[in-house]
């Protein structure tokens, strides 16, 4: 079995940040790493799920809406993937921060929190999303397009 690209990244060196995971044609996959891998500190499902609902909605309502392809959590509970059309890294970083701020400032019903709209709509809690987004925004407040390469041991 061929090892997929994301398994080739040495996870021992990954710290919270934003990384360029892969480029497929004009589709860029960003690794939004919120937690350091394999350190016992993981997002719970309610947190990942609520951040997914909030961030996906805000990103798809941003001025990059037409370029947003996907936003969703990693199964390892240490981050999210964001797929965007085009290589406009600085704009994407700003869109991520804007969506985080929008989520942090939002106080209302979680988007898509109904039986008709979601597969597990009771597993959502805005306070959990607020906590995660506040924490992550602090980590990537000054992140630039020059920092998108995964850290290595060198």
Beta carbon nearer to Zn ion, 115 or 154: 115
Nearest distance in Å: CB 124, Zn ion: 7
**Which of residues 28 and 54 has its CB atom nearest to Zn ion in the complex?**
54
Stated as kind and residue range, the H or E segment containing 79 is strand 79-85
Shortest approach of Zn ion to residue 106 CB, angstroms? 16
25 Cα distance to chain centroid? 21
CA distance 16 to 79: 8
Q: Which residue is nearest to Zn ion (CB)?
A: 118
Measured CA angle at 31 (ends 74, 140), to 5 deg:
115
Contacting Zn ion (CB under 5 A), which of 9, 118, 137, 145?
118
Buried b (16+ CB within 10 A) or exposed e, 102-126: bbbebeeebbebeeeebeeeeebbb
Give the Cα separation of 137 and 100 in Å (integer).
7
- Rounded least distance, CB 57 to Zn ion, Å: 11
CB of 64 to Zn ion, least distance (A): 22
Task: Specify the residue, 115 or 142, whose C-beta has the smaller distance to Zn ion.
Answer: 115
Closer residue to Zn ion, CB minimum distance, 16 or 73: 73
Q: How far is the CB of 18 from Zn ion (least distance, A)?
A: 23
Largest CA distance in the chain: 49
Stretch that binds Zn ion, among 15-23, 25-33, 110-118, 144-152 (CB under 5 A): 110-118
Contact 35, 42 (CB under 8 A): yes
Between residues 126 and 148, which has the closer beta carbon with respect to Zn ion? 126
Binding site for Zn ion (CB under 5 A): 118
């Amino acid at each position: 079995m061929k090892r997929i690209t994301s398994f080739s990244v040495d996870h021992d060196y990954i710290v919270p940040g934003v990384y360029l995971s892969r480029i497929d044609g004009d589709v860029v996959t960003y690794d939004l790493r919120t937690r350091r891998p394999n350190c016992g500190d993981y997002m719970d499902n309610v947190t990942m799920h609520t951040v997914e609902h909030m961030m996906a909605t805000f990103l798809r309502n941003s001025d990059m809406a037409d370029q947003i392809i996907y936003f969703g959590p990693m199964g390892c509970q240490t981050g999210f993937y964001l797929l965007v059309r085009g290589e406009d890294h600085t704009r994407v970083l700003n869109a991520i921060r804007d969506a985080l701020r929008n989520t942090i400032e939002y106080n209302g019903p979680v988007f898509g929190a109904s039986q008709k709209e979601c597969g597990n709509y009771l597993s959502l809690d805005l306070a959990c999303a607020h906590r995660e987004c506040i924490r992550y925004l602090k980590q990537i407040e000054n992140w630039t397009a020059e920092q998108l390469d995964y850290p290595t041991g060198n």
